[in-house]
């Protein structure tokens, strides 16, 4: 029998939920523009001297979140912005998602949550993994909502909360079949007692994670239903203890779309808010549910041609001399490479970029900092022409999902793989000259820790 989330459990921000959290949600102040963190070991420069950048459409994020909010209602949407917002820029994406109706955010690491607070992001932030003892105090002081699933994890958060004198909400994670992290169902009653025995802790959420909600075969669907049945059993057992968490959640993007009964009071949407669906089964379910509405991919990867040369038929550009030009062709050099998240395997799998609204194949192997493009004998490409590796140009489109299909991977990996040297530029503020830095100078120097920290406007 299904255990329904009712009342406050269906509304993360309803009266009484996160009341204490909201009361102190002003968050740390933003760092001064000229401040530099003493972390030279982590420094990696964002390039301001070459025309290669990722353009982020924050309005697309807001649109996709609104669409998902409508789809899963009355459940709420928690926007997953871990891994620097799936490569898009976590603080900017977080704000866009909240503007679209997300009721809270989720990250994997305490550092990621603290980064959001430093950039003025308000609202609940759920930690998806139990943090270590050395990070517990930071989690509590930044008003993050920790996941717990071991007795040690409960004690670490309670100890930090007591030291800081700050009541802290926690979400207990249950392993119903993912077998990565989470408490075995048999351990849940004892963990619930441990949480309830700590006056400084508030048992706010109970949750699990679905491992094959995006699966296409009957076995995957059956396994997902088995996970939900196990989870329902845990929810019922906790209720028999006289405990009723405010928030019950299980579904990722795929689960939220393809398994309506997995929505409970809240869903955690990751890839969906960035404009992609996690596989054909979820795509079919989404189309059936929303009709003509579509999610909007938010990130475009762009560059400009920096050099052109006419090469004779049979010439073999780039390392390894892997491909002979089939005819006399103009070869364009574009300043982006595998150090920036453009894998060498794209060449061997027939990848094409867009220049002048046309698909054009790579002329040779991807190198660390550059690619070469076969533009044919027409000679219709010049230095300065725009190049699109991910995104739309005219009527042509190349998506992260196309990269994934060619590489035998998933769009998630493609998006988070775009490297820290690539500036993230908000679409509304993109300039014709991407060499203008769109990242505050101090953050560019701080490099890797801030490579997606803030999407800010161009400096004057």
Active site residues: 82, 319
Nearest to 4 by CA among 217, 265, 245: 265
d(CA 213, CA 221): 7
Q: Give residues with Cβ within 8 angstroms of 349, minimum separation 6.
A: 406, 407
What single DSSP character describes residue 458? P
In the block, tokens 């044919």 appear at 376
Measure CA of the first residue to CA of the last residue in the chain; give whole Å: 61
Contact between 237 and 5 (Cβ < 8 Å)? no
Helix 58-72 with 280-290: angle, nearest 10 deg: 70
Nearest to 350 by CA among 360, 341, 358: 360
List the beta strands (DSSP E) in 281-434. Answer: 299-304, 307-311, 329-334, 352-355, 358-361, 371-374, 386-393, 396-398, 424-426
How far, in Å, are 159, 221, 225, 266, 414 from residue 261 at the CA level?
37, 13, 9, 11, 30
d(CA 418, CA 432): 21
d(CA 179, CA 223): 13
Which residue stretches of 311-397 are H helix? 345-348
CB atoms within 10 A of CB 99: 14
In the block, tokens 């009527």 appear at 395
């Amino acid at each position: 029998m299904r255990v329904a989330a009712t009342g406050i459990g269906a509304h993360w921000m309803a009266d009484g939920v996160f009341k204490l959290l909201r009361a102190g949600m002003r968050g740390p102040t933003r760092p001064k523009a000229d401040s530099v963190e003493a972390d030279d070991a982590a420094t990696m420069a964002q390039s301001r001297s070459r025309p290669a950048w990722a353009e982020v459409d924050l309005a697309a994020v807001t649109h996709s979140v609104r669409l998902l909010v409508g789809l899963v209602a009355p459940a709420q949407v928690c926007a997953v912005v871990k891994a620097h917002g799936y490569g898009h820029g976590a603080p900017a994406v977080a704000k866009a998602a909240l503007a679209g109706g997300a009721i809270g955010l989720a990250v994997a690491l305490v550092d990621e949550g603290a980064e959001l607070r430093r950039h003025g992001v308000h609202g609940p932030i759920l930690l998806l993994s139990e943090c270590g003892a050395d990070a517990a105090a930071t989690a509590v002081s930044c008003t993050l909502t920790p996941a717990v699933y071991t007795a040690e994890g409960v004690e670490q958060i309670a100890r930090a909360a007591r030291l800081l004198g700050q009541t802290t909400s926690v979400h207990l994670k249950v392993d119903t079949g993912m077998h990565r992290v989470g408490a075995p169902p048999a351990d849940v009653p004892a963990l619930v007692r441990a949480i309830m025995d700590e006056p400084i802790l508030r048992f706010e959420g109970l949750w699990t994670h679905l491992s094959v909600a995006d699966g296409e075969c009957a076995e995957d669907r059956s396994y997902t239903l088995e996970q939900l049945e196990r989870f329902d059993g845990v929810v019922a057992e906790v209720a028999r203890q006289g405990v009723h968490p405010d928030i019950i959640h299980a579904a990722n993007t795929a689960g939220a779309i393809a398994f309506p009964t997995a929505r409970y009071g809240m869903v955690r949407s990751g890839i969906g808010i960035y404009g992609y669906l996690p596989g054909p089964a979820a795509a079919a379910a989404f189309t059936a549910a929303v009709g003509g509405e579509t999610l909007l991919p938010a990130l475009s990867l762009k560059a400009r041609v920096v050099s052109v040369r006419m090469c004779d038929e049979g010439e073999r550009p780039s390392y390894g001399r892997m491909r002979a030009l089939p005819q006399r062709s103009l070869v364009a050099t574009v300043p982006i490479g595998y150090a920036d998240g453009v894998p060498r395997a794209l060449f061997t799998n027939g990848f094409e970029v867009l220049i002048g609204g046309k698909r054009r194949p790579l002329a040779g192997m991807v190198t660390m900092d550059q690619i070469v493009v076969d533009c044919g004998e027409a000679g219709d490409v010049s230095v300065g022409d725009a190049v699109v590796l991910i995104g739309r140009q005219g009527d042509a489109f190349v998506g992260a999902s196309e990269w994934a299909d060619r590489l035998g991977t998933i769009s998630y990996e493609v998006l988070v793989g775009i490297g820290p040297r690539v500036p993230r530029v908000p679409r509304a503020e993109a300039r014709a000259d991407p060499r203008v830095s769109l990242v505050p100078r101090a953050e560019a120097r701080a490099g890797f820790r801030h490579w997606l920290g803030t999407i800010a406007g161009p400096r004057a």
